[in-house]
Amino acid sequence: METKPANNFLRLKIAEEIKSGVATEVVTRFPPEPNGYLHIGHASSICLNFGLAETFGGRCNLRFDDTNPEKESQEYIDAIQEDIKWLGFDWAGEVRFASSYFQQFYEWAVVLVEQGDAYVCDLNAEQAREYRGTLTEAGENSPFRDRSPEENLKLLSLMRAGEFAEGEKVLRAKIDMASPNMNLRDPILYRIRKVSHHQTGDEWPIYPTYDFAHGQEDAIEGVTHSICTLEFEGHRPLYNWLLEHLPVPSTPRQFEFGGLNLSYTITSKRKLKQLVDEDVVGGWDDPRMPTVSGMRRRGYTARAIRRFCEMIGVSRSEGVVDVAMLEHAIRDDLNENAPRAMCVLNPLKVVLTNYAEDQLEQLNAPCHPSREELGTRTLPFSRELYIDAEDFREEANKKFKRLVIGKRVRLRNAYVIEADEAIKDAAGNIVEVRARFIENTLGENPEDGIKPKGVIQWVSAAGGKRAKVKLYDRLFSDEGPDRGENNFLDHINADSLSVVEDAWIEPSLIKAAPEQIFQFEREGYFVADRVEHSEAAPIFNKTIGLRDTWNS
RNA sequence: UGGGGUGUCGCCAAGCGGCAAGGCACUGGGUUUUGAUCCCAGCAUUCGCAGGUUCGAAUCCUGCCACCCCAGCCA
């Protein structure tokens, strides 16, 4: 099941570096900002970073990039850690926080100022934008650019002391306002934010920007390969500039790869948060969400997610992976590992007229068609039972391999039956089917040589139980919900959730533990809900249907 | 119209000068007490386009074209 890591440009690159001595060890890090829950795109990055560390015998840190307290919270910090552990990864040592390096960053800011490489600027946001120039025109130097180191030092300490209002001043690197790379036009290093921080409380009225934090965090932790997505490529010169101008303890290098995009899915924390805030879904862990916790609740396994990440590979081209690949990964895992059981979602009563009313047989059925070691379970069989209404027609053509009047069908793991009559209500709806069971057909074909047309699932009315089943489908009906002109909210699939209040389940399912996954035969894979399921009120979520190649 | 990237089958992706891996999807056929799984077969004379170098190019060179990213005191 576990596959050997496929080669990708980073693995090859690092292998070369180690061979040539450019690199002597591999230390990576996964650096989420705690401003939302992890999603499938993060899972891919996690697999990459932890995977690289593992294949090269190095280590991978978990570091919260918490430099913008306004959008962050402890809830996210806790959820992110749980998700990573659930995915099966262990970070090296303690969890790290950018915020625990704030004092060091400040001291380095002082170094920059003393070197004449940074200055305090009084331009407000709008003015700064005007001075920055455009993509095709050089920017202009800020009128505050030539303040003396002494003055800058004083101003910076006043900023740190909370003497200025938000937006009144910033600290900027003094690089080149005419650089064709916008990131080098005197980027902002510190801004004033008088908000308390989830880790440092009210200790700081100023917070470093991503650019002034990331490379230094990596350097402090001895990260050797700082892997990020393509949009940070233009920041690399700045990342390097800072490391070159600061007395940092090591020299990490940044590498970029193309992050994951999935069809029929959005992977934007901002938009995912909007779905949660506007109650479009039940929460970050709603089974329809592409979040790690949502997929977990949906019934996806960590193994399938990791396998999927291995399948799609890693490259520098930005594409859209077909969600069918993710679906294949989970089906592949569950087909192999999920015990089988029977559930009737849309019950139609069948009465076996030749089966004694007081008779109740206990049939035995394997839990898996090809893995004997998964054991067996007991299926009560009785005169009255339920099949799915979809599996019966009064008459049908040869292609319909289910129950038809005058024809036979195999009840999965039980007898072959033959239908005689459909009982209808006043409105003409079929409410019951009268049928007969064929003797001696347990594990055998009928002695008269007339074989059943097909096999259907069933549950005994006498021994079966009831359960609520939530049927999930894709959250979005459009292949690219937020691509181009699309507004993702316009493409919500109205049928992404439908609830079956009273499905019939075979009795063995009543003992299901939360998060236990089954294949309901001929239907798909279902998981006992992680939070709401109980023996008294069983609730199953549909993970994914079986592949269905039956057309017409 | 500045800079940085990317272009190999419908999708993802190997390939790194020697004659186009693999997976997903799809299409046939076989097995089957799940119309599932499994099995077998098919699926790029061609690598964005045009030139050039070479005995030989997806791989090297030149020039085009397309798409993505950068003008947050977000990350």
Helix (H) or strand (E) holding A542: strand A539-545
Backbone angles phi, psi at A256, to 5 degrees: -115, 150
Q: Which fold has domain A269-340+467-544?
A: Ribosomal Protein L25; Chain P (2.40.240)
In the structure, what pLDDT confidence band is assigned to residue A5 with cuts at 50, 70 and 90?
A: low
Note the pLDDT tens digit of each residue in A208-247.
Answer: 999 999 999 999 999 999 999 999 999 999 999 999 999 9
Q: Residue A30 in contact with residue A62, Cβ under 8 Å? A: yes
How many angstroms separate the CA of A365 from the C1' of B34? 13
How many angstroms separate the CA of A9 from the C1' of B53? 28
pLDDT of residue A1: 36
Note the pLDDT tens digit of each residue in A280-292.
Answer: 999 999 999 999 9
Q: Residue A526 in contact with residue A331, Cβ under 8 Å? A: no
Nucleotides of B under 7 A from a protein CB: 1-8, 10-16, 21-27, 33-38, 68-75
How many angstroms separate the CA of A504 from the C1' of B62? 71
Q: Which fold has domain A346-457?
A: Ribosomal Protein L25; Chain P (2.40.240)
Q: Is A112 left (phi over 0), alpha (psi -120 to 50) or beta?
A: alpha
Note the pLDDT tens digit of each residue in A175-214.
Answer: 999 999 999 999 999 999 999 999 999 999 999 999 999 9
Is the CB of residue A268 inside 7 Å of nucleic acid strand B? no
- What ipTM does this complex have? 0.97
Q: Residue A522 in contact with residue A546, Cβ under 8 Å? A: yes
Farthest-apart Cα atoms in chain A, separation: 103
Note the pLDDT tens digit of each residue in A445-464.
Answer: 999 999 999 999 999 999 99
Is the CB of residue A140 inside 7 Å of nucleic acid strand B? no
Is the CB of residue A178 inside 7 Å of nucleic acid strand B? no
Structural domain spans, chain A: 9-259, 269-340+467-544, 346-457
Note the pLDDT tens digit of each residue in A104-162.
Answer: 999 999 999 999 999 999 999 999 999 999 999 999 999 999 999 999 999 999 999 99
Note the pLDDT tens digit of each residue in A44-86.
Answer: 999 999 999 999 999 999 999 999 999 999 999 999 999 999 9
Question: Strand B within 7 Å of which CB atoms in A 482-541?
Answer: 519, 521-522
Q: What is the CATH number of domain A9-259?
A: 3.40.50.620
Q: Where are the beta strands (DSSP E) in A116-175?
A: 118-121, 170-173
A9-259 with A346-457: one CATH topology?
A: no
Across all strands, nucleotide nearest A192 (CA–C1'): B73
How many angstroms separate the CA of A44 from the C1' of B47? 27
